[in-house]
Amino acid sequence: MPTILTYNINGIRAALKKDLNGWLFAADADIVCLQEIKAKPEQFDDAAFNDLGYICYINSAEKPGYSGVAILSKITPKHIEYGCGIEQIDFEGRIIRADFENYSVMSVYFPSGSNSERQGFKMEFLALFHTYIAELKKTIPNLIISGDYNICHQAIDIHNPKVNKNSSGFLPEEREWISQFIDSGFIDSFRHLNKEPHHYSWWSYRANARAKNLGWRIDYNMISTTLLPKLKRSQILPAARHSDHCPVLVELAD
């Protein structure tokens, strides 16, 4: 079973200028799930990752310089699924799935609720995605859904839960969605192994938030409950600074 990293890199071209490929060489994960690549395939420097032993699979948004996800894999997949077949969300390039022999890995970039219209789209996305996954699990029971969920699940996952109780990303209905998603047969791999507070994966660029560790934990490696016996390790890696997010690792034993 693989070691997987999820990382919202907030622009692949900017991240490569900050030596993302050098960092990935040292990290040596089997599979890397990227979100918010902000690049069309022709703008994505495959060679930088091919040199590290990765094959690159990219699902870009129709809108230039926006959204987009990718999977980099040292293991050759049996199949790559670009999007999820739901027209009203696939045009934003938010989902890609790699199918391997006994499991599948998804890189997903959930919408943010930056305004009331986008918050409505976010809630629609969450409902459609949950239905899609429930159907997918019938044929692919061993799923690893990695990505930027843009939701903090519990008070422990955000630096100031009282102040942010009405903020998109910590709204009661969003948190309830995460609870229901977990209850449908998933494990939050990091929180399952790490119960301590003050572990975050995203920090605002404002007010020196990262230096003060005033963050949000919105990036997850959710694994099917069937994979729980194989869950070996999960870590947030805040020392990596190519983005306003940091990578989150999960390691599954053979």
> How many structural domains are present in the chain?
1
Q: What is the CATH number of the domain that holds 166?
A: 3.60.10.10
**0.95 surpassed by pTM:** yes
Structural domain that includes position 101: 3-252
Half-sphere exposure of 34 (CA within 13 A, CB side): 32
Q: Supply the DSSP string of 27-62, one letter for each residue.
A: H--SEEEEE-----GGGS-HHHHHTTT-EEEEE--S
Per-residue pLDDT of the chain (254 residues; tens, 9 = 90+): 899 999 999 999 999 999 999 999 999 999 999 999 999 999 999 999 999 999 999 999 999 999 999 999 999 999 999 999 999 899 999 999 999 999 999 999 999 998 999 999 999 999 999 999 999 999 999 999 999 999 999 999 999 999 999 999 999 999 999 999 999 999 999 999 999 999 999 999 998 999 999 999 999 999 999 999 999 999 999 999 999 999 999 999 98
Tracing tokens 């980099």 back to the chain, one arrives at 72
Whether residue 19 lies in the annotated active site: no
Question: Which candidate in 19, 45, 148, 219 is catalytic?
Answer: 148
The answer to whether residues 247 and 2 touch, using CB atoms and an 8 Å cutoff, is no
For 144, the enclosing helix (H) or strand (E) is strand 143-148
